[in-house]
Structure 1
Amino acid sequence: MFRHILTATDGSDWAGKGVTKAIGLAAALKAKLTVVMASESYPDYLYAADLSPYAGTVFTPEQMETNRTAMQSHADEVLALVSEEARKLGVHPRLLYVPNTHPAVAITEKAAEEGCDLIVIGSRGRRGITKLVLGSQAAEVLAGTQLPVMIVK
């Protein structure tokens, strides 16, 4: 059936549902598991939010480095929690943090690069407000890959 599953997280509860399902599938199928966490660059993320109090702000190199470090630390924490959950079921995941990349792009590119044959994602992540039924990242992943995609509610 499936031999290599890719799942993605942003640390949200919605994404966690997809991760939990992917871990369970990997354990049941004795499949490899790759977990991706991506983050867009700091200014792009802020400018995407029309109501951001920082819209139009120019950040110093020090502020940018502080943010990069904070995003890396957050990714390390989230991926460590996923790894711990997976190992309880005997799954030893490959953990990938992909900075400065649109999440849907990171998911589809890494799935192809890693030779995955299934993508499992939550129906919404932190951007759930922008899409009431299906999250924008989930919709973009569906449109951006030829692989089977399982979307978990």
Structure 2
Amino acid sequence: MGFSHILVAYDGGVPSIRALDTAIDFMQNNQAAQLTVVHVHSVAAIAIADSIVTVPASVQRDEFLQAQELLKEVDDKISFLLSARSVLLEGSPGESIVQYAAEQQCDLIVIGNRGLGAIREFVMGSVSHYVIQHTSVPLLLVK
């Protein structure tokens, strides 16, 4: 067996769907013992001058419900695997993924990459870029 615990970062986008499919292939080919799919829900905030304003509670609730629905879809997709689960985390996506992988002693992180150009990545940031820079866990980047 290749890996004892694979963590997949999932946001519902095409690259994360490919990352999940790759991890499922590892599981089906007995190259992993356990699979955890994480989705990170973060409370959006808007910076105005020197203040930070959070979005209204109703919007936050709707986003949280959407995150739960996204994980229900994941649960349906991985239900046939005996040792697979999904987890909803809250916080900064990159930081949450790195911290969770370390705490759970994952030995592989599988994450999708949108392939942003250098300028767009600098301006917008990139979860995969953050994870690459801050994790000590081996990482498989799926495009």
User: Is the shorter-chain TM-score for this pair beyond 0.5, marking a shared fold?
Assistant: yes
Q: Closer, same or farther in 2 for the Cα pair 1:57/1:131, shift >3 Å?
A: closer
State the Cα distance separating 1:57 from its structure 2 match: 8.6
Match of 1:74 in 2: 66
Instruction: Give the superposed CA RMSD.
Output: 2.6
Match of 1:65 in 2: 57
Aligned pairs (5 A) from 1:1-150? 1-29=2-30, 30-43=32-45, 46-47=46-47, 58=53, 64-88=56-80, 90-99=81-90, 101-124=91-114, 128=116, 130-131=120-121, 136-150=126-140
Give the match's secondary structure for 2:109.
strand
* CA distance, structure 1, for counterparts of residue 84 and residue 109 of structure 2: 14
* CA distance, structure 1, for counterparts of residue 85 and residue 38 of structure 2: 9
Cα deviation code 1:7-51 (max 9, x no counterpart): 0111111211111111221232242111111132211xx44xxxx
Give me the TM-score of the superposition, normalised by structure 2: 0.81
* CA distance, structure 2, for counterparts of residue 113 and residue 28 of structure 1: 26
State the Cα distance separating 1:91 from its structure 2 match: 4.3
Give the match's secondary structure for 2:29.
helix
Q: How many residues align?
A: 135
* CA distance, structure 2, for counterparts of residue 40 and residue 76 of structure 1: 13
Percent pairwise identity: 31
Q: Closer, same or farther in 2 for the Cα pair 1:57/1:115, shift >3 Å?
A: closer
Amino acid aligned to 1:131: E
Gaps of 5+ in 1: 48-55
Amino acid aligned to 1:18: A
Gaps of 5+ in 2: none
Cα deviation code 1:39-68 (max 9, x no counterpart): 32211xx44xxxxxxxx8956xxx632122
State the Cα distance separating 1:151 from its structure 2 match: 0.3
* CA distance, structure 2, for counterparts of residue 64 and residue 10 of structure 1: 22
* CA distance, structure 2, for counterparts of residue 39 and residue 58 of structure 1: 17
**In 2, are the aligned partners of 1:34 and 1:96 still within 8 Å (CA)?**
yes
